[in-house]
A and B are shown apart, each in its own frame.
Chain A
Amino acid sequence: MRPVAVGPQVGVELTETPSGGALMVLSGALDVRTAAATRREISTQLSGKTFQAVEIDASRLEHGDASGMVILYELTHGRFTPGVLATLRGLRPELEKLLQAFPPPADVQAAERHAPRKPIAVEVGAATLGLGRDFLEVVAFLGRLSIAAGAIIRRPRWLRPSELARVFEKAGANALFIVSLISLLTGLIIAFEAAQPLKTFGAQIYIANMIGLVMVRELGPIMTAIVFAGRTGSAFAAELGTMKVNEELDALRTMGLDPTRFLVIQRVLAGTLAMPLLTAYSMAMGILGGVIVTKLMGFPLALIWKQLTSALGLDDILFGLVKAVVFGTVVSALGCYHGVHTRQGPSAVGDSATRAVVSGILLIIIIDAIFSVFAFALDI
């Protein structure tokens, strides 16, 4: 048979011997560039034929690498010719070394064995136990937080005011722009959306009442808390998580400094202080948005002001701010909790930040629902 050139550099020549065997002569370069084409060519030439034995003459192979030698490995292990292991002769010593580096098939199989899948009951059990463990860890974390808070009340210099101020600035002041934008637009959107249906009843002036109540009691605290969870909760988790991965938390512990007292307390306190301030600001911006729309509809400012003050009481504002304090504490503490419980590995910090945000938002909504039920029951 005429040698068939596959690609630019390798030749495969198959001759049948009288004894029912085959002689395959390979020539040229069998490497990463030619291996795939060579495999195809060999498969084509061998297809539909059965041989008693296959001999490969590799003496004319001039160049090769591991990706090329894999073809020879497969030939000599009978992948192309089921049941017949090809014999190899004439391979250059340097290529022989490459081929010898291949592990024996038994080792390959051993390495390919995947970890056995666990029964579903075991998986469910492990997950349940994991949930229980997580709960215990949260309780332990709250305990440590309380102890650290107690220690700081006794020794205020442990509070590290400079760190508190730095975190407070990042969590509070630096969030003003995004809180402004979101609150103002929320106020505008609600006012616009409400204008149409209220117009039917000639009750457009009540937009002011509605915006006031909605922003102060619900949307101000909720929107700010969600922004806070996304900006600050995740930042706390990532910051402490990176410190955990870099063994900085371990370094603190071995220096006799409790990370909860040294790092966590400042963040929780800063969050608790920043959230009501941001929320008050958000309430004002939201109402401003509503006022702008009402004014655009032609109502005088004095009338709008009268409507607002008649609808809103001090108790409404306090209700919103108390919620904000709770949200601030919870979101900051969750961020820190996920930060100090960061696991090892390259995606661990990202996972912690995600968990901090997701659990933060979830708890915000749950706590808000509880507040609403109590407020309804107590008629606040």
Chain B
Amino acid sequence: MSPAEKPPIIEVKHLTIGYDERIVQKDLNFQVRKGEVFVILGGSGSGKSSLLKCMIGLLAPLEGEILFDGVDMLTAEGEEHLNLLKKFGVMYQSGALFGSMTLVENARLPLDEFTRLDLDERELVALTKLNQVGLLEAARRMPAELSGGMQKRAGIARAMALDPAILFLDEPSAGLDPITSAGLDRLIRSLSRDFGITCVVVTHELQSIFAIADRCIMVDAQRKTLIAEGKPAELRDHSEDPVVRQFFRREADPEQGRQTG
């Protein structure tokens, strides 16, 4: 069964995001299907990071609902809310590792807090997660001693500690060299293919999009809503929308071109 036929795991309905009076995106409707790599695209300032924050519950939307397996993220409380949080893991843009803990302690933290396994066992699971992202040898090092790419990979290991069904990744390739970035892309693909994890990725790196995405949506800063949805290659080759075509063909904004050129 290809991901396209699979049932939705996240449903976003009539979502409007904004800060106080300023609306960032309005009336967003889309579904993320089980097991796919779903990419949220958009230029700088288009609100794709706000959308991600909204989906993981850090930012309350102005309107609309977000359903995880049919459970509303916004109204879930107590035990139900906690169970929902355990369903997904988040890799933050800079890794957001706790600086006072070693990598393995970082990856072990969710296990320490939410399981009753022995220390040895928790340690083993954490080391396995680090092994999966290729950081087993760095397990005893502190985050500050690592490069940016390693911190992001460690961030993924920590996000995976409780084997979430969904992994949210905020700009995984931002600020990384092409080789490291390609390595991360491969890791994301393998998480989806081998372990069936649904990945929701926010990015604007073209190469990365073609390497990982099963489907993508694009949000636009001017029109403040979703302007495209589909497979990246289809959008590149067949989209009629000038902004989408511009994005995929890496063309400069004509307005900007006139001003600067």
Contact = CB atoms under 8 A, between A and B. Distances in A.
Interface of A: 31-32, 35-36, 39, 65-67, 70-71, 73-74, 94, 97-98, 101-103, 107-108, 110-115, 344-347
Given A97-B195, A103-B128, A345-B144, A111 B117 contact: no
A67 B162 contact: yes
Nearest to B139: A111
Contact of B127 (A71, A111, A114, A344): A111
B188 to A, nearest CB: 15
B115 A36 contact: yes
A114 B102 CA distance: 12
Interface of B: 98-100, 104, 111, 114-118, 121, 123-125, 127-132, 136-137, 139-140, 142, 144, 160, 162-163, 194-196
A108 B131 CA distance: 10
Given A35-B117, A107-B136, A346 B128 contact: no
A115 B140 contact: yes
Contacts of A94: 195-196
B128 A35 contact: no
Given A65-B163, A74-B121, A107-B131, A32 B114 contact: yes
> Is chain A's binding surface mostly helix, strand, loop or mixed?
helix
B interface, by DSSP: helix, strand, loop or mixed? helix
Given A98-B195, A102-B124, A103-B128, A35 B137 contact: no
Nearest to B138: A111
A101 B133 CA distance: 10
Contacts of A115: 140
B163 A32 contact: yes
Contact of B124 (A32, A36, A108, A347): A108
Contacts of B111: 67
B255 to A, nearest CB: 31
B99 A66 contact: no
25 contacts: A35-B115, A35-B117, A36-B116, A39-B118, A65-B162, A66-B128, A66-B160, A67-B111, A67-B117, A67-B162, A67-B163, A70-B117, A70-B125, A73-B124, A101-B128, A103-B136, A107-B131, A111-B104, A111-B137, A111-B139, A111-B140, A113-B140, A345-B99, A345-B144, A346-B100
Given A31-B163, A70-B117, A71-B121, 20 more contacts: A32-B114, A32-B115, A32-B162, A35-B121, A36-B117, A66-B128, A66-B163, A70-B121, A97-B195, A101-B132, A103-B128, A107-B136, A108-B127, A111-B127, A111-B137, A111-B139, A111-B140, A115-B140, A345-B144, A346-B98
